[in-house]
Amino acid sequence: MHMTVTREAPAGMSHRNRVLVFGGLMLAGLMSSLDATVLGTALPTIVGDLGGLDRLAWVSTAYVLATSVTVPLSGRLGDLFGRRPVFLTGLIGFLAGSAACGAAPSMDALIAFRVVQGAAAGCLMSSMFALTGELFEPRERARYQGCSALVFAVSSIAGPLVGGFLTDHASWRWVFYVNLPLGLAATATTVAFLRLPKPDRRPRIDYAGIVLLGAAVTCFTLLTSWAGTRYAWDSAEILALAAGSAVLLAAWVLAERRAAEAIIPPRLFSDRSFAVACVVAAVGGATGFGLATYLPMFFQVVGGVGATESGLLLLPMMIGLLVASMGAGRYIARTGRYHRLPAASMAVSAVGVALLATMDTGTGLVTAGAYMTVLGFGAGLSQQVVMLIAQNAAPRRDLGAASSGVFASRMLGTAAGMAVFGAIVSSRFAEEIGRRVPAGEVPAFGDAVRPEVLGTLPGPVRHGVAEAFAQAFSDLFLAGLPLLAAGLAAALLLKHVPLGPRE
């Protein structure tokens, strides 16, 4: 089943106003994505001020968990109640959560306010893509969605740097307060310039779907966050979360088949384009972002660079991603063709992953940067294209559900990839370190990746750790190739469905 969906520009909105609103969307997206990365360098200072070391991980986990739950829900709420009120609710909630986090008197209060922030961030992220779909017809939209890749690239690089700068030169509380002027500007732009028609149907809320999907995503997010870190993979807690995720997901699928206004309507998956977009988004999240999470660790352990420098070394990958994403957007805007880009993305990413798997203790930074550029370019060829494909496949009434469905697929793919790849690299390191370092001097994986511990190890032990991690890293990237092959097979099933005409 395939359909071409053509949407006119919102009545009463000039091109200038739509561009201004898009700028507000980018500010909102930057805020929400920055807050997922900015806290890493500030957390030690926060613990020193508020205490609660045993609950430190929840400062980040609470945000990610709340975001994961609200992303798929808020897209559908935008379909039912209108995207403008959902987006404004997200902005107001994020501003309130940021102000409260900055003024938090205790660790428990900070965690609670991070939940508010994360829930609002989910509304902002899903609304950002759905509103871009409302504001621009498909060909024009491709160019703007390509530009939106800049938001995520900047946040991944700038987040730790901004967090460290504000913590060192002002206070960790300014990590949250800095959101206020950005959020107010986005809110003012939205109120002044965004005009959309109200939905012409009476909302029918799928309460069962909301509860079941929220519970399933919660279990899955906790599973990927805790497996191999807080609990062993074969522990009762992790097995219970895995079983709970599967049971709740199955119950949600059954409930959605009977729901009048399903959170993610099953009819979307009957369209091959939407289903393939979700698969490619999940694979791209796991390989383009899940694998990339471990690159700074490689540079720290094998290359001996500091934490800040290792983050900056990801810049070549981000440049490759930006060039590909913006180039793909311009190509689609000019030709109207897109269906081979996801397959090219999977193929180029596989080349990048294979090259990264060849790195060892003798690999130079220039060579590593070139390999990362290839991986980033591959990821960029599909990052925003899959969103365009899903929106082009969906009728207007399901635009928000389609947008949030693809975005949630990428988020969940990233989370699952980080968990599984983390298990691979830690288990392979344990095997390799035993062959290279005498038994009495073998450091635990958690200690071996800490720069302050590495610096205290004797030279031969330090060299053995670097070699063991390099081998584990190679095996880690090789494990990503079958996943990319599956993504390529899915992407080849795409057929060209014409986009709407230019305005």
Read off the pLDDT of residues 123-157 as tens digits, 9 standing for 90 and up.
Answer: 998 888 888 888 888 778 878 877 777 777 777 77
pTM of the model: 0.84
- Choice between 450 and 349, residue whose per-residue pLDDT is larger: 349
Is a pLDDT exceeding 60 seen at residue 5? no
CB of 298 within 8 A of CB of 425?
no
CB 340 within 8 A of CB 149: no
Cα separation, 387 vs 66, in Å, equals 22
Looking at residue 489, what is its pLDDT?
A: 96
pLDDT value for 454? 66
pLDDT at 440 (0 to 100): 61
| Tokens 């930006």 sit on residue | 322
Provide the pLDDT for residue 501: 43
Average pLDDT of 39-65? 80
Whether 453 shows a pLDDT value over 70: the answer reads no
| Percent of all residues in the chain with a pLDDT value above 90, rounded to a whole number | 28
Q: Of 10, 274, 270, 267, which is closest to residue 141 (Cα–Cα)?
A: 10
Q: Which residues of 343-354 are buried (b: 16+ CB within 10 A; e: fewer)?
A: bbbbbbbbebbb
**For the segment 342-367, what is each residue's pLDDT rounded down to a tens digit?**
999 999 999 999 999 999 888 888 99
SS3 286: helix
Half-sphere exposure of 115 (CA within 13 A, CB side): 7
- 120 near 73, Cβ under 8 Å? no
Predicted confidence at residue 8, as pLDDT, reads 47
Query: Alpha carbon of 425 to those of 69, 413, 470, 474, 486: distances in Å?
Result: 28, 18, 10, 9, 21
Give rounded-to-5 percent helix, strand, coil for the chain: 75, 0, 25
In whole angstroms, how far apart are CA 297 and each of 308, 309, 361, 428?
11, 11, 13, 15
pLDDT band at 329 (very low <50, low <70, confident <90, very high): confident
**How many other CB atoms are there within 10 angstroms of residue 129's CB atom?**
27
Q: Are 125 and 64 in contact (CB under 8 A)?
A: no
Question: Which of the four pLDDT bands, split at 50, 70 and 90, describes residue 3?
Answer: very low
Please tell me the predicted confidence (pLDDT) of residue 167.
78
What DSSP character marks residue 338?
A: -
How confident is the model over 297-303, as a mean pLDDT? 81
